[in-house]
Structure formats: C-alpha cells, structure tokens
Structure 1
Amino acid sequence: MSSSVRSPFHIRYCGSWVALGLLRILSLIPMPLLFHIGTGLGDLLYAALPSRKRVAQRNLTLCFPELSEGDIQSLVKENIRNTARMLLYSGFVWWAPERKLRKRVTVRNEAILDRLENDGCGFILLAPHFLALELGGISLSLRSPGVSVYQRTRNPVFDRSMLRARQRFGGTMYERKDDLRPMLKAIRRGKGCYYLPDQDPGKRRAVFAPFFGVPTATWPVLGRISKLCAAPVLPCATYLLPGGAGFEIVIGEPLEHFPSETQEGDAALMNAAIEHCVKQRPNQYFWVHKRFKTRPPGAPKVYD
C-alpha cells in the first residue's frame, strides 16, 4: 500500500472517520442504556451472521460436550449479544477519562500485583481473548503503566485511534513484528506486561496442547518470555458486568511450575489457566474466532 493511501486522511477512509465519530457519540450514552441496545443489536447479528454463529456453536460444542443443543444455542446467542454490547462500549473504552474508568471498573485480587510491584518484580498478565480484554489493559495502566504487544490493522484511522487509546495513561505498545527487546528490558526492570497469546498462530509456529480436551495450535512464546525475564505469569480476565454496571478484572495467583521444561508443557499450563477463566464466564469468550482451525497432522477439519 502506498504511503498516501496508508495516510488516515486519505479520502477512502471517510467512512472510517464517520464510524469513529459515532463511537465517540456512543461514549456519551449511559452504559445501562447501551447494554439494552446491545441486546437488540446482538439479536440482529445473531440472525444476520450465520457463519459466525456456526463457528461459535462448533467451538462451544467441542469445549462443552456435556451441554445440550439448547444450552449451546443459548450460550451462542448471549455471546453474540455480549459482542454487540462490547462494540457499543468501544467509545467508552477509547475515550473515557480516568474518573469514569475508576468508577466502572473493579479489580479483584489487586493485592497480588501490589506484592509483586513492591518487590520490584516484573510480571506477565496472561489475558485471554475475552470480549472486554482491551478495557482490561487500558484500566490496569491507570495503576501502573506497563507494556504490551499489538498487531497493526489495515485501517490507519482505527489503528491510530486504538493505539492512542491504549497508551493514553502511560502504557507502551510494541508492534508484534518490531524488535521486542525493549519490551523484555522493561519487564526485567519491573514493568508488567499485558499479553494476549490465545489465538491460532498457524501450523508453522504452533505447538499443540489440549484446550478443553481438544488438541489446539498454541503460541509457544509465553514460556520463553517468562524464562528470559524471570517473570511470573498471572491469569488476568476482564468480564462485562450485568445490566451495564461496568467491568470486572480478575487477577489470579502466578502459575505454578511455569515455565516448564518444554514448549508443549508451557502451552498445556497456559491453556489450562485460560480454561479456568473461560469456565467462569463462558458467554464472554471470543468464540466466533476459529480457534481450532489449525489441526495436528492427520486430524480432520473442525469447520466447514
């Protein structure tokens, strides 16, 4: 893409600026009202996006085989409603001032972070792909600005806005393809790292480890970072609260025996920690992602 087309001010991105303006307007609407609007929008998306619905249904059927077909359908419907609610909350996530964030976000087990920071110990927050994960990283930067990794999007308007939002309270973002040595140095100096490792990395870079009993392509990076930085890994899940009441960030104790001796062992421990978080709020995980797209050699495809 040429530099002129990549500019966020190119005419082809007029629609993106309009969408951004709408999100800014939505940030002014009370969250309980957006919650209920999101219910209706989610029901429309449930009907209008059958392919995404099928992906979520397939994922949930694999991960929760004990549930009935009716229970799976109810989970899928509520998951898509929560996806719509989080879309409407995007303006709040990107522009809410510190006062509003502190009012709407509750951090559970914050004393675990206090203990590590008082010891000058850098740490890694294992942040699974829950629908509200972006809000979690931004909110935690209020208490102590840390570091994180992001992937540049193809739309420079949204890319610019997301990066500004994520760094507005002092956090530092590193693009996934850039040199990450400064990030590792920051962790060694005592910074926290908000890390999102639970999406399909493709066959070339994956190791396979169980996730809800399904052999799953898993990024093998978390254990290496933990070992290089001598940094403990803590589960960190961000959940929407009912009725538009806000959000809850739940911090877990550091993973035991992590990193292990092998990449496969690290991946299994990581996936088990994510499983535990998902079981707390199964209707808020990013189920529309084809998490099981990459299969082990000889295994049948999961998706049509």
Structure 2
Amino acid sequence: MTDFAARLLYIFVASLTRMPWSWLMRMGDAMAAAMRMLDVRESRVARRNLEIAYPQLPADERNRMHRAILRATARQTFETMRLWTRPHAQNLALIRENHGVDLFDAAVAAGKGLIVAAPHYGNWELLNQWLAAKTPISILYRPPQSAVGEAFLRIVRADDGDRVTQIRAEGPAVRQLWKLMKVGGVTGILPDQQPKAGDGEFAPFFGRQALTMTLLNRLAERSGAAVLFAYCERLGEGPQFALRIEPAPPAIASHDPREGVAALNAAVERIARRDPAQYQWTYKRYTLRPPDSGETNPYRDLETH
C-alpha cells in the first residue's frame, strides 16, 4: 500500500505541475502570503533564524528578508515538484550558465573519489539530476518520517540508467561511503543539516555556534577524496539557473575535526550570503547548544506558539 500511495501522490503532483511556470509561481506567491499571514511554523522559524544570523540589521530590513525567504521557499515547492515529474533532459535545459564544470570533470577523472558538498541553497534537486547525468552517484539523505514520503522520494529521484543510489543517513551509511571512496566513487552530501548529539562538532555559522557534521571531514581526511561545493542558483524571476562548482577550502580535510567543520560552515555561509532568500532558513539549525554554554534551544518558544 505504501508504494501504491506514493504512485498516486506522484500522479497528483505530475498533474498539478502541468500548469505553465507562471501559474505555478503565482501559486507559490499565494502560498507565501498565506504562510506569512497565518505565521505557520516555517514562517516563525525563518524569522527566528534571521534574528540569530542578522542581529545587526534593523527590524524592517529583516522583515523584508523574511518576506523574500517565504516567497522563494513557496516558489521552490512548486518548482521542485515540476522538476521531479519532468524528464531530466528537459530540466537540465533550464541551466543557462555553467561554472567550474572542469573542476568536477577533473576530480572524477582522477579516480580518487569525490565528495560533492551541496548546501541547501538554490535548487538542490536540479543539482542531483545534473550530477546523475554526469556520473553514477550515491546521495546521502535523511529519510522523511512518512513511509509514503520516502517511497515518493525514491520514485522522483530515480533516473533511467540506475545511476543514482540513495543512502539513508543511518549507521550503515558510513561503511557504504567508505567503500565508495575506496573505489573512486562519487557521493553527494548535504552538509548543513544538524547531526545527532555526539555525531558532530560545534563551529560558528552566521556568528552562532552550530552543531555540524564531522562525517564529511572524516571522509575527506581519511580517504584523500576531492571535495567540491556545488549548487544550482536561480537567475532572475524565470525558470533558469546557474550551475556553480567551487573547490572546498583545504582545511575541510583537516586532521582536527573542529578545524574541518569550521571550514565547512564558513564555506556554506559564504554561499548562503550570495542571495539569502535562496537559502533554507526554515530549518531549525541551532536546536542543540554547546554543553555548559548555558544556552537553551532558541526555537523552544516557537514550539508552543
């Protein structure tokens, strides 16, 4: 029944997104207005994150950023649904600029393993499709709580040539990634998700300590694999993107995991600052606080809103 429900969901999404892009974007704008008016969870979390990350800005400027973030977030919902349910070749034609592809090609050709760090910036689902078109890739992901949701993701992230392997971010994942790096494989990791307590190190992110995964640092340091940052950045109002691939700072593979996660966060922050509206500010990035810091969960009051 789970797979059947996921198929029905896919049919519904595919039917909905047959509308013209302009209509989908208007629907996104209407959703953003409703999110703001009702002050839903995503709206409250985004506002709190802006208070944490941009405390020096006047309240009216943060309010402007808040509106832009909700608009981009809602539009991305419909944008991604369309990308999920259309042929990949058709989607990839929306990438109008390519930057740093030579870095990617060289890293793959070297055969020493490649870690693609893909922050939650722009449209990471389009990036996944571009990566799969270039090379077989294993994608580390955090499964949704819903079994139907996970089955749906397996459908929409599949490709025609079975070049995408989805690895759940759980215990066995680490062993799978080690084996992949040993044979010169390519993996994609979302580096800005908060790990479980004990699975990371604290490092500054927009001026506040954030628990950050050490997995990427350990993989890079022990395997010698190359690390590249990659993202598909929206261009203007239309459905067009710029693919950007950039080298990671050398410190990301440091023997000291604290230095490694600090370099990782600095790189993600630099990307997010390019256009803050395109970053995922609706995620609770600072829930866990450093031991003995005296700090409390900054979202606690939002949960009882």
- Give the TM-score, by structure 1 length: 0.88
Matched, 1:119 2:110: yes
Partner of 1:137: 128
The answer for the alignment partner of 2:45 in structure 1 is 55
By how many angstroms is 1:293 displaced?
1.0
Out of 157, 173, 177, the residue aligned to residue 166 of structure 2 is 173
Give the Cα–Cα distance (whole angstroms) in 2 for the partners of residues 254 and 205 of structure 1.
22
Structure 1 counterpart of 2:224, one-letter code: A
Taking the aligned partners of 1:51 and 1:115, their CA distance within structure 2 comes to: 43
TM-aligned CA deviation for residue 131 of structure 1: 5.5
Distance apart, 1:200 and its partner CA:
1.9
Equivalent position amino acid for 1:53 in 2: S
Question: Match for residue 283 of structure 2?
Answer: 289
Secondary structure class of the residue paired with 1:208:
strand
Shift in Å at residue 261 of structure 1? 2.2
- 2:293 match: 298
- Quick one: distance in 2 between partners of 1:187 and 1:202? 24
Alignment match, 2:90 = 100
User: Structure 1, residues 54-98: CA drift from partner, whole Å, max 9, x if none?
Assistant: 221121122123322111111111111111111112332212213
Contact in 2 for aligned 1:35/1:244 (Cα 8 Å): no
CA distance in 1, matches of 2:137, 2:244: 17
Q: Return the TM-score normalized by structure 2.
A: 0.88
Cα 1:19–1:167, aligned 2, differ >3 Å: closer, same or farther?
A: closer
List gaps (5 residues or longer) in structure 2.
none
Cα deviation 1:238-274 (Å, max 9, x = unaligned) = 3233323233331112322331121111110000000
| Structure 1, unpaired ranges of 5+ | none
Identity %: 25
Contact 2:45 2:281 in 1 (8 A): yes
1:23 counterpart = 2:16:
no
Matched-pair contact (CA < 8 Å) for 2:46–2:281: yes
Question: What per-residue deviation string (whole Å, max 9, x for no partner) do you get for residues 133-189 of structure 1?
Answer: 222112221121211112332333331221132231511111222523333322332
For residue 294 of structure 2, what is the amino acid of its counterpart? A
Cα separation, 1, equivalents of 2:248 and 2:189? 14
Q: Which residue of 1 aligns with 2:23?
A: 33
Q: What do you get for the CA RMSD once the two structures are aligned?
A: 2.1
Of 268, 271, 274, which aligns to 1:277?
Answer: 271
Contact residue 94 and residue 162 of structure 1 kept, 8 A:
no
Whole-angstrom CA distance in 1 between matches of 2:82 and 2:105: 27
SS in 1 for 2:126: helix
Q: How far off is 1:118 after superposition?
A: 2.5
1:197 aligns with 2:195: no
